[in-house]
């Protein structure tokens, strides 16, 4: 069994998908991009996070399409774009993009206790951090 399939199963067994759309979008991303050289655990974590809703899924899908067209070997350009998008954010979405960057950098994510984050976004971040641990253990 391929690693991406083991990863999907581990996330599914731990009830990490918010709904069937989240599950389907994540599976589509991993199925389509698992054979590219830039597919890493960090990118897989970003895929989980972006699959949460249709809007973020489409953003990542566009980025991945550009990466494949440009024959990218790593996620460096994706990370740079993520930094630019994060800086443009005026809402708690900023923290979601910062989390993505930490996934790509394979660094711990530290959320400031004073951060003004809605319960919905905090839930997404908390779930993505749990998923990150599962992905790391797979």
Over the stretch 14-23, which tens digit does the pLDDT of each residue have? 999 999 999 9
pLDDT mean over 112-118: 86
pLDDT mean over 62-89: 90
* pLDDT for the residue 2: 93
* pLDDT for the residue 114: 83
Selected residue with higher pLDDT from 116 and 13: 13
Report d(CA 16, CA 126) in Å as an integer.
Answer: 11
113-138 core/surface letters (b: 16 or more CB in 10 A; e: else): eeeebeeebeebbebbbebbebbeeb
Q: Quote the radius of gyration of the chain (alpha carbons, Å).
A: 14
Condensed to tens digits (0 to 9), the pLDDT of residues 31-65 reads 999 999 999 999 999 999 999 999 999 999 999 99
**Domain residue spans in the chain?**
3-137
Q: Is the pLDDT of residue 1 over 90?
A: no
Answer whether 89's CB lies under 8 Å from 100's CB. no
Look at residues 93, 78, 89 and name the one whose alpha carbon lies nearest to residue 44.
78
């Amino acid at each position: 069994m391929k690693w991406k399939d083991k990863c999907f199963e581990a996330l599914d067994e731990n009830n990490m998908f918010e709904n069937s759309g989240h599950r389907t979008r994540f599976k589509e991303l991993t199925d389509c991009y698992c054979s590219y050289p830039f597919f890493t655990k960090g990118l897989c974590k970003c895929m989980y996070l972006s699959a949460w809703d249709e809007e973020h899924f489409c953003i990542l899908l566009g980025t991945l399409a550009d990466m494949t067209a440009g024959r990218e070997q790593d996620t460096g350009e994706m990370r740079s774009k993520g930094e630019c998008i994060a800086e443009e954010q005026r809402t708690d979405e900023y923290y979601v993009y910062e989390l993505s960057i930490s996934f790509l950098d394979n660094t711990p994510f530290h959320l400031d206790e004073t951060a003004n984050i809605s319960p919905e976004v905090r839930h997404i971040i908390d779930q993505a951090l749990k998923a990150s641990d599962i992905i790391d253990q797979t």
